[in-house]
Amino acid sequence: MTLLLGVLEEGLIYAVMALGVYITYKILDFPDLSVDSTFPLGAALTASALLAGVNPALTLFFSFAAGALAGCATGLIHVKLKVRDLLSGIIVMTGLYSLNLRIAGGRANVPVFTQDTIFENPFLADHVPGGLAPYAAVLILLLITAVCKVLLDLYLNTRSGYLLRAVGDNESLVTSLAKDKGTVKIVGLAIANGFSSLAGSVYCQHKGFFEISVGTGTIVIGLASVIIGIQLLCPENGVSFLTRLGLPHVRPTTAVIVGSIVYKACISLAISMGMEANDLKLITSLLFLVILVVSTERRKKVKPHA
């Protein structure tokens, strides 16, 4: 039970970030590495803000805003300065490392165990019945993730959201509509990194400390979640096992959240199966490779008929 809750908690925290990666990787087709630094950005900002006495819930909004700014920076470097997509992300990622340390007050590790967080505060202590306490964190995370997902779904159905999807699929269409595809990309990157930073904020409050290394490998988790989720629940040919079973079609955003939980479950399974500690990174990368290989196979089959 503890393990299940642990997997759900971990999965849901990273699901918010994975929603961001879904926008860049799947919708915009932009390999955005800046999430590796916007995730700790949110965590650093949150740790500093909590120590300064800022309301824990407010830190979520600040983090989103800061992440969105960083995303804009990646976008501007790519669109206005014409730097390649991968490099723009790397530039922002490298620069933000120093900035994150600055934000955290020059410290690589900032504990916030004694501060109120969205998971531990007087309000929750008063209003959550004792029996529900072990599930409080999961419920709060579920709420945050659900709100992010619904807002993203709503956004993708607006005019701006349609343009975002169009840029990934067919850039010329966007140009023919007299819209600037560069601006659309910047908006997409801003939202994506906003989500990543927001996830970092939640992570910091959940764990009770900020550590400069938390961002390492964020993109791997994000990509794995997106690919697992999409492959599993809404593959490109539109026929998932859900539809075969007569169940309703799920949105890609839901699939990504499920993907994040499945990914964390796989890691947890690997740990609890008693694998050699030192092989964990290798297993992560192999798991990733297997999923990628299987997904490219599918693309080959679909494209010739498309």
Partner 1 sequence: MKKSVKTLFLAAAAISLLTTGCSGSPAPDTQAPADGKTYTIGIGQFAAHGSLDNCREGFLLGLAEEGIVEGENLTVLYENSQADGGIASQIITNFASQKVDLICGIATPMAQTAYGVGRKQNIPVIYTAVTDPVAAELANADGTPVGEITGTSDKLPVTEQLQMIRTILPDAKTIGIMYTTSEVNSLSTVQEYKDAAGDYGFEIVDVGISTTADVPLAADSLLEKVDCVTNLTDNTVVASLPVILDKAAKKNIPVFGSEIEQVKIGCLAAMGLDYIDLGKQTGRMAAAVLKGEKKASEMNFEVIQEASFCGNTKVAENLGITIPDDLMASVKELFTEIEQ
Under the criterion CB under 8 A, does residue 275 sit at the interface with partner 1? yes
Q: Which of 3, 132, 173, 177 binds partner 1 (CB under 8 A)?
A: 3
* Partners of 211 in the β-ladder: 109
Non-local (6+) Cβ contacts of 210 within 8 A are 40, 43, 44, 46, 47, 104, 109, 110, 111, 112, 204
- For partner 1, which is the closer residue by CB, 84 or 281? 281
Give the C-alpha distances (Å, rounded to integers) separating 2 from 9, 134, 277: 10, 9, 21
Q: Which of 72, 107, 160, 182 binds partner 1 (CB under 8 A)?
A: 107
- For partner 1, which is the closer residue by CB, 28 or 256? 256
Calpha distance 220→79 (Å, rounded)? 24
Calpha distance 77→215 (Å, rounded)? 21
Under the criterion CB under 8 A, does residue 286 sit at the interface with partner 1? yes
Query: Burial code of 57-76, b = ≥16 C-beta within 10 A, e = fewer?
Result: eebbebbbebbbebbbbbbb
Q: Which of 179, 232, 250, 254 binds partner 1 (CB under 8 A)?
A: 232
Under the criterion CB under 8 A, does residue 177 sit at the interface with partner 1? no
Binding mask 193-212 for partner 1 (x = CB under 8 A): -------------xxxx-xx
Least distance from partner 1 to the Cβ atom of residue 304, Å: 16
Q: Which of 65, 99, 146, 287 binds partner 1 (CB under 8 A)?
A: 287
C-beta separation of 188 from 155 below 8 A: no
C-beta separation of 259 from 287 below 8 A: no
Under the criterion CB under 8 A, does residue 269 sit at the interface with partner 1? yes
Q: Which of 274, 303, 304, 306 binds partner 1 (CB under 8 A)?
A: 274
- For partner 1, which is the closer residue by CB, 18 or 186? 18
Calpha distance 118→124 (Å, rounded)? 9
Count CB-CB contacts under 10 A for residue 156: 18
- For partner 1, which is the closer residue by CB, 173 or 286? 286
Under the criterion CB under 8 A, does residue 36 sit at the interface with partner 1? no
Q: Which of 129, 277, 300, 306 binds partner 1 (CB under 8 A)?
A: 277
Least distance from partner 1 to the Cβ atom of residue 187, Å: 28
> Closest Cα partner for 79 from 181, 188, 220?
181
C-beta separation of 164 from 156 below 8 A: yes
Least distance from partner 1 to the Cβ atom of residue 175, Å: 35
Under the criterion CB under 8 A, does residue 256 sit at the interface with partner 1? no
> Closest Cα partner for 201 from 46, 89, 27?
46
Residues forming contacts to partner 1 in the complex (CB under 8 A) are 1-3, 6-7, 9-10, 14, 98, 101, 106-109, 111-114, 134, 206-209, 211-214, 216-217, 221, 228, 231-233, 235, 239-241, 243-244, 262, 264, 266-283, 286-287, 290-291, 294-295, 298
